[in-house]
Amino acid sequence: MEKGTCIYKELIDIAKGKTSKDKLNSIAEFVYQKYNVKINFCQIFGNRWSFYAGSIDLITVQARIKLTDKIGIFIEDNNLDEHVWNELLSDIKKVI
């Protein structure tokens, strides 16, 4: 639990005082730097997911996860343990 709390605090620090798009870009950069995983944040319009922020050079998408009714993420390389992903996604949802 301590590790999850630490990640949440880091996400809060990097998102502080930024616009929504800048916040999401910073979170995507943090995930890449810490876990070597590229993600895109997408706006959701019904069945259509449109790039909004994050890594613009995704080659293939291995996972698509809905975070809220309006925001989701594409994940390029899903090489993290499921427990780590669950904590990370939970923390990202709290920050956005």
For the stretch 48-74, pLDDT in tens is 999 999 988 888 888 899 999 999 999
Label residue 1 by pLDDT band (50, 70, 90). Answer: very low
Q: Residue 33 is inside which H or E element, if any?
A: helix 20-35
Residue 58's alpha-carbon distances to 32, 76, 88, in angstroms, are 12, 6, 20
Q: How many CB atoms lie within 10 A of CB 74?
A: 20
Q: Measuring CA to CA, which residue among 72, 65, 90 is closest to residue 24?
A: 72
pLDDT for res 47? 92
